[in-house]
């Protein structure tokens, strides 16, 4: 292993170019992907070694062009312009070369060491497309590699080429943008050279000045009088071009990029694509997004995922449940009588009840993420956006809100991250604010605990669907409200690519599933373990002086334990907030669990587990659900589910909302607003419901 | 456009040398005296004085027995000459339809003698042909025209476009939002300004591209289009900006 700083490789490409599969194939098992809660998401970095040299690969957000329109594009541009990677790997979709190569042209204005990666080359070949690679390499002046990312084909060669360009000092790029534009850029570059600006990427800065990109204009202006001169020069050149061509500059420049790409393709395409490889995909679309069938199929797919999660997931869930029950009984039985009872209580009532209560839901989490991964990888997500955009639009959201919101079913945090693809700040904020209403994976354990506790078996899947549906409906209502009040204004355009359906590879699906499941387990082993122990302590101490459970009569034990619990710190906190939550039908025990749920939603389940496990001292294996059923009416159960669905997004969500919105006020509004709505709704449901059902 | 270019007063042969070096450096990464001699079909001995002269002018780096490379200034000058060469080749070959080898030869001899003014007009003309929505069809008509091909003295096509025909062509202009599923057209222009337009352009919807409206969302919006192997969904509001020349329905 090499100790010197690794070679920094930036992976750029448009969305759907298979950039991520290249990233995974390049970095292999040594990657430390942080694309999940709490970890920095925008910087996905992986490390690999090639012939003793370390390469650090950075996966830039996918963007169609380098600009500052959407946050993702801005990040990609910033990484290239400011962080100046040693090598830029441009991943393009070989089946859509014309469009993809425009990004390459822009990157050529930016970086000198480039490797072009023609991804999905198998699909391109199947369509009959043949490229003269050596010619392309010599025309561009840097290496070109054909790859099939998800199979890892061509990746060793890619590594080799990256290594070969990383120490090249001669710049052989050959970008031809037509005499007029090149002269124009040359003039601005000459003006920029008089300033103190970084010499790297001058051409790009010049192009951006020509386009009057505010970000770059500000930067150059900061350089003083010379900077002003360069800006003036750019303005002059722009005016000349616009007057002469009668086109606005953005159009003119884009045309020149396409001109370069067209010229290039004319030379290197030995045979253009002539076989339609999308026949099957198009046939599927003819049914899946059919005028009449589209919406029913969409609903069926969504329902199918919930069915999979709940009904199928219940089977392995039982096994895990039984295992923990067996474990706690075994420990209790094997424990030497009357010695270190505190420790036994900590292990059985604190740790096993808390962590076990959360781990039980692992199968459901795995299945939910399996469903989402398949939807994402197959390409159905963009169809769903196509089907739902009108509806979303009507409620002040955007077709692009769809993917973040569906991601929110997995976890709110990546959902909020995913709002970056949205260009309009108001659309983005609206989506962010209502995203916690998408019932996340961490809330699933709550539903799985509460629904069977309060509702008969036939209604389980329906109830689960209903809870998700209520969340969605509320999100729509709320976003409409936001767009009419705080976030009024112009909406962003909806222009979305529809990639062909692709068979999700087992590797990628399992990868995603394993990743999210592992993080769930890790959370259970760390945060939830810690909170379980804390909760155990809070519910155990201070002890009730006169209570000596061993001496008590058996009949008295039950109520005695609850008195102990009430006396504890947790009990007192619960009692303290009881007046506030009482209108919703909740008592202090639920209150304690709700507070715990603020740290992470699934903690609610372990909290109840700990409370009830301490309250119930007898070894009679009454499950938590039975106890809940005994203590609360279905009306309270429903009111509780509503409250947990809407109120208090978890800490991590608030933190990410603050970071992504750039301001605490949005996080505060999210927290306060949602909690207030939750309280009002739950109270209304409980109070009105109680009138009818006693 | 020539005002800000370095005026180096290169002789024709020096320009040729510079161009040769540029091509060699591009294709083989290095340029050596004997490669240059071979490419220009002269003896190595006659190359050397020219190299000295170019080095004096600061256009190349040249030391005895070393590789020759272009200085930034030399690179720019070479590119300019090369661009002239390519522009002329394009004009002869792509516009006038002269076979490639003859076009190359003519470009070689004209690139030195043509005035900047004349050059500029050719550039403008090429610019017009590639930017004007009608450009492609004008060229196609020119090539297919029986008069030009000397086959006939009378035009068989619609040489005298009547007012009514012109009206028809305007009537053929529709916005993408007005197409019905299955109908298609060729992009003429994208209206409006700003990010929305730029996004549409970035997605490859540029003049000359043939677009088919595939379907409309069950809710009536957005629409789904196909073009050049890509498929895209966009709202009617955005689609309105995309103006097409409607293709005859199949």
pLDDT at site A436: 92
- Residue A238's nearest CA partner among A253, A216, A226 is A253
pLDDT for the residue numbered A623: 74
Distance CA A298, CA A399 (A): 15
What residue ranges do the domains of chain A occupy?
Answer: 7-166, 179-246, 297-322+364-488+496-508, 328-341+519-544+558-693
Query: What is the model's pLDDT at position A683?
Result: 93
B174 touches chain A (CB under 8 A): no
Alpha helices, DSSP H, located in chain B: 12-28, 33-40, 44-56, 72-90, 100-113, 116-131, 135-144, 163-171, 194-202, 236-239
Q: How confident is the model at residue B163 (pLDDT cuts 50, 70, 90)?
A: very low
Average pLDDT over residues A433-450: 88
Q: What is the mean pLDDT of residues A447-456?
A: 88
Beta carbons within 8 Å of A147's beta carbon, 6+ residues apart: A22, A25, A117, A118, A119, A121, A153, A154, A155, A158
Supply the DSSP symbol for B94.
I
Which residue would you say has higher pLDDT here, A516 or A545? A516
Contact present, A82 and A67 (Cβ < 8 Å) = no
**Beta carbons of A95 and B229 less than 8 Å apart:** yes
Interatomic CA distance for residues A451 and A428, integer angstroms: 33
Task: Judge whether B199 is closer than 8 Å to chain A, CB to CB.
Answer: yes
Higher-confidence residue: A384 or A116?
A116
Cβ atoms of A615 and A628 within 8 Å: the answer is no
Residue A256: alpha-carbon gap to chain centroid: 36
Which of A187, A247, A295 is facing B131, going by the closest CB pair? A247
Q: Does A498 touch chain B (CB under 8 A)?
A: yes
Judge: A251–B233 Cβ closer than 8 Å, yes or no.
no
Q: Is the pLDDT of residue A565 over 80?
A: no
Given a cut of 90, whether residue A132 has pLDDT beyond it is: yes
The SS3 assignment for B161 reads: coil
Which of A40-54, A589-603, B10-24 shows the lowest mean pLDDT across its residues? A40-54
| Chain A: residue whose CA lies nearest to B2 | A183
HSE value, Cβ hemisphere, 13 Å, CA-based, for A363: 16
pLDDT-derived band at A643 (thresholds 50, 70, 90) equals very high
pLDDT at A678: 93
A393 touches chain B (CB under 8 A): yes
Question: Rounded to whole angstroms, what are the CA distances from A585 to A455, A491, A638, B167?
Answer: 17, 41, 10, 74
- Whether the predicted pLDDT of B33 surpasses 90: no
Provide the pLDDT for residue A249: 85
Contact A566, A588 (CB under 8 A): yes
How large is the ipTM? Answer: 0.76
Give the C-alpha distances (Å, rounded to integers) separating A75 from A71, A81, A213, B124.
Answer: 6, 10, 15, 37
* Cα distance between residue A547 and residue A552, in whole Å: 8
Mean pLDDT (whole number) for A583-597: 85
Cα separation, A163 vs A142, in Å, equals 12
Quote the minimal CA–CA distance from B216 to chain A in Å. Answer: 8
Distance from CA of A102 to the nearest CA of B (A): 8
The confidence score (pLDDT) of residue A615 equals 61
How crowded is residue A123: how many other Cβ atoms within 10 Å of its Cβ?
19
Q: What proportion of chain A, given as a percentage, has pLDDT over 90?
A: 17
Report which of residues A208 and A422 the model is more confident about.
A208
- Report the relative pairing of strands B60-61 and B69-70 from DSSP bridges: antiparallel
Q: Are A259 and B130 in contact (CB under 8 A)?
A: yes
Whether B141 has its CB under 8 Å from any CB of chain A: the answer is: no
**Block residue for tokens 């700040």:** A425
Neighboring chain A residues of B229 at a CB cutoff of 8 Å? 95-96, 127, 273, 278
- Buried-state track A568-581, b at ≥16 Cβ within 10 A, e below 16: bebbeebeebeeeb
Phi, psi of A45 (to 5 degrees): -125, 145
Residue A667, pLDDT > 60, answer yes
Nearest to B222 among A69, A291, A389 (CB): A389
The token duo for A365 is 């989490």
pLDDT higher than threshold 70 for residue A207: yes
Q: Which residues contact A393 (CB under 8 A, 6 or more apart)?
A: A399, A491, A494, B221, B235
Q: How confident is the model at residue B190 (pLDDT cuts 50, 70, 90)?
A: confident
Which of A267, A493, A501 would best serve as a mutation to test chain B binding (most B beta carbons within 10 A)? A493
Which residue in the set A245, A387, A494 is minimally distant from B234, CB to CB?
A494
Question: Is the CB of A190 inside 8 Å of chain B's CB atoms?
Answer: yes
Residue of B nearest to A261 (CA): B204
Question: Residue A84: helix, strand or coil by DSSP?
Answer: coil
pLDDT of residue A560: 62
Confidence of residue A677 (pLDDT cuts 50, 70, 90): very high
Say which residue the tokens 């270190």 belong to.
Answer: A340
Residue-level length of chain A:
694
Handedness of CA A441, A442, A447, A453 (dihedral sign): positive
Please tell me the least confidently modeled range out of A5-19, A528-542, B206-220: A528-542
Q: What is the structure's pLDDT at A545?
A: 57
Distance of alpha carbon B107 from alpha carbon B94, whole angstroms: 13
Nearest residue to A658 (alpha-carbon basis) of A647, A668, A667, A646: A667
- Minimal-distance CA residue of chain A relative to B200: A495
Q: How confident is the model at residue A575 (pLDDT cuts 50, 70, 90)?
A: confident
Closest chain A CA to residue B127: A245
Residues whose CB is less than 8 angstroms from the CB of residue A628 and which lie 6 or more positions away in sequence, other chains included: A449, A450, A453, A454, A608, A612, A637
Topology (CATH level 3) of domain B167-246? SH3 type barrels. (2.30.30)
Quick check: A581 and A594 in contact, CB under 8 A?
yes
The token duo for A255 is 């045309």
Q: How far apart are the first and last CA of chain B?
A: 47
Q: Is B84 left (phi over 0), alpha (psi -120 to 50) or beta?
A: alpha
Place of tokens 């969504």: A302
- Pick A289's closest partner by Cβ from B215, B230, B235: B215
How do B242-246 and B173-175 pair as beta strands?
antiparallel
A7-166 folds as Rossmann fold (3.40.50)
Contact A206, A188 (CB under 8 A): yes
Lowest mean pLDDT segment, chosen from A194-198, A259-263, A509-513, B49-53: A509-513
Lowest mean pLDDT segment, chosen from A130-144, A145-159, A274-288, A307-321: A307-321
Task: Say if residue A386's pLDDT is above 60.
Answer: yes
């Amino acid at each position: 292993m090499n100790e010197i700083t690794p070679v920094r490789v930036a992976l750029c490409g448009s969305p759907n170019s298979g950039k991520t599969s290249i990233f995974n194939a390049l970095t292999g098992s040594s990657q430390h992907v942080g694309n999940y809660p709490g970890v920095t998401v925008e910087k996905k970095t992986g490390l690999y070694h090639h012939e003793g040299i370390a390469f650090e690969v950075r996966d830039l957000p996918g963007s169609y062009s380098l600009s500052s329109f959407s946050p993702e594009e801005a990040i990609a541009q910033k990484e290239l312009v400011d962080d100046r990677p040693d090598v830029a790997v441009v991943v393009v979709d070989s089946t859509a070369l014309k469009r993809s190569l425009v990004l390459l042209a822009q990157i050529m204005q930016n970086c000198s060491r480039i490797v072009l990666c023609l991804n999905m080359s198998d699909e391109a070949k199947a369509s009959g497309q043949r490229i003269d690679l050596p010619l392309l390499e010599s025309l561009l002046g840097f290496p070109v590699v054909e790859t099939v990312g998800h199979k890892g084909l061509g990746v060793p060669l890619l590594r080799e080429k990256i290594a070969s360009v990383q120490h090249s000092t001669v710049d052989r790029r050959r970008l031809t943008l037509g005499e007029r534009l090149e002269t124009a850029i040359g003039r601005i570059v000459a003006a920029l050279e008089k300033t103190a600006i970084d010499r790297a990427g001058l051409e790009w800065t010049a192009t951006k000045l020509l386009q009057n990109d505010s970000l770059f204009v500000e930067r150059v202006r900061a350089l003083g009088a010379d900077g002003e001169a360069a800006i003036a020069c750019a303005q002059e050149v722009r005016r000349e071009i616009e007057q002469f061509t009668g086109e606005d500059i953005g159009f003119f420049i884009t045309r020149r990029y396409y001109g370069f790409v067209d010229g290039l393709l004319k030379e290197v395409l030995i045979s253009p694509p002539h076989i339609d490889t999308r026949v099957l995909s198009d046939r599927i679309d003819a049914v899946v997004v059919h005028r009449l069938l589209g919406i029913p199929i969409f609903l069926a797919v969504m329902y199918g995922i919930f069915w999979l999660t709940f009904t199928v997931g219940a089977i392995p869930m039982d096994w895990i449940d039984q295992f923990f029950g067996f474990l706690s009984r075994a420990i209790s039985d094997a424990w030497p009588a009357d010695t270190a009872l505190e420790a036994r209580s900590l292990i059985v009532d604190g740790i096993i009840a808390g962590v076990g209560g959360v781990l039980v839901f692992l199968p459901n989490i795995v299945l939910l993420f399996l469903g989402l991964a398949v939807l994402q990888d197959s390409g159905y997500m963009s169809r769903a956006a196509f089907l739902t955009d009108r509806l979303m639009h009507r409620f002040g959201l955007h077709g692009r809100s769809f993917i973040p919101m569906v991601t929110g079913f997995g976890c709110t945090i990546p959902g909020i991250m995913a709002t970056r693809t949205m260009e309009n700040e108001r659309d983005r904020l609206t989506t962010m604010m209502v995203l916690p209403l998408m019932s996340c994976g961490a809330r699933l354990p709550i539903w799985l605990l509460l629904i069977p506790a309060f509702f008969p078996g036939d209604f389980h899947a329906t109830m689960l669907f209903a809870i998700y549906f209520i969340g969605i409906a509320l999100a729509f209502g709320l976003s409409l409200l936001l767009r009419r009040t705080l976030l009024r204004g112009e909406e962003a355009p909806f222009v979305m690519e529809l990639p062909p359906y692709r068979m999700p590879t087992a590797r990628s699906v399992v990868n995603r599933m394993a990743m999210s499941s592992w993080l769930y387990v890790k959370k259970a082993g760390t945060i939830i373990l810690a909170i379980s122990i804390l909760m155990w302590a809070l519910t155990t101490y201070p002890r009730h002086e006169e209570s000596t459970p061993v001496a008590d009569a058996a009949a008295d034990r039950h109520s005695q334990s609850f008195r102990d619990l009430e006396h504890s710190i947790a009990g007192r906190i619960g009692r303290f907030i009881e007046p506030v939550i009482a209108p919703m039908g909740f008592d202090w025990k639920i209150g304690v669990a709700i507070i715990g749920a603020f740290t992470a939603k699934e903690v609610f389940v372990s909290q109840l587990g700990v409370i009830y496990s301490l309250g119930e001292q007898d070894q009679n294996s009454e499950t938590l659900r039975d106890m809940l059923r005994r203590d609360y009416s279905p009306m309270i159960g429903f009111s509780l589910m509503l409250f947990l669905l809407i109120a208090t997004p978890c800490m991590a969500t608030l933190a990410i909302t603050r970071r992504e919105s750039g301001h605490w006020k949005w996080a505060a509004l999210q927290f306060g607003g949602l909690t207030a709505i939750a309280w009002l709704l739950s109270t209304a449901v409980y109070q009105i419901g109680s009138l009818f059902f006693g | 456009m020539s005002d800000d270019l370095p005026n180096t007063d290169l002789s024709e042969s020096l320009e040729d040398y510079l161009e040769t070096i540029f091509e060699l450096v591009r294709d083989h990464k290095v340029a050596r005296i004997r490669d240059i001699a071979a490419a220009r079909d002269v003896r190595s001995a006659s190359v050397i004085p020219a190299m000295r002269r170019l080095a004096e002018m600061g256009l190349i780096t040249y030391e005895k027995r070393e590789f020759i490379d272009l200085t930034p200034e030399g690179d720019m000058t070479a590119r300019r000459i090369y661009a002239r060469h390519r522009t002329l080749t394009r004009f002869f070959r792509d516009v006038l339809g002269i076979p490639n080898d003859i076009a190359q030869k003519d470009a070689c001899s004209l690139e030195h003698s043509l005035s900047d003014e004349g050059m500029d007009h050719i550039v403008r003309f090429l610019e017009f042909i590639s930017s004007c929505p009608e450009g492609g069809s004008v060229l196609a008509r020119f090539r297919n025209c029986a008069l030009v091909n000397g086959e006939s003295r009378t035009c068989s096509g619609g040489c005298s476009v009547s007012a009514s025909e012109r009206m028809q062509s305007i009537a053929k202009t529709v916005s993408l939002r007005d197409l019905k599923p299955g109908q298609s057209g060729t992009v003429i222009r994208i209206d409006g300004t700003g990010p929305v337009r730029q996004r549409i352009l970035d997605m490859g919807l540029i003049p000359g591209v043939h677009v088919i409206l595939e379907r409309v969302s069950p809710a009536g919006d957005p629409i789904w289009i196909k073009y050049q192997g890509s498929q895209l969904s966009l709202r009617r509001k955005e689609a309105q900006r995309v103006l097409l020349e409607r293709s005859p329905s199949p």
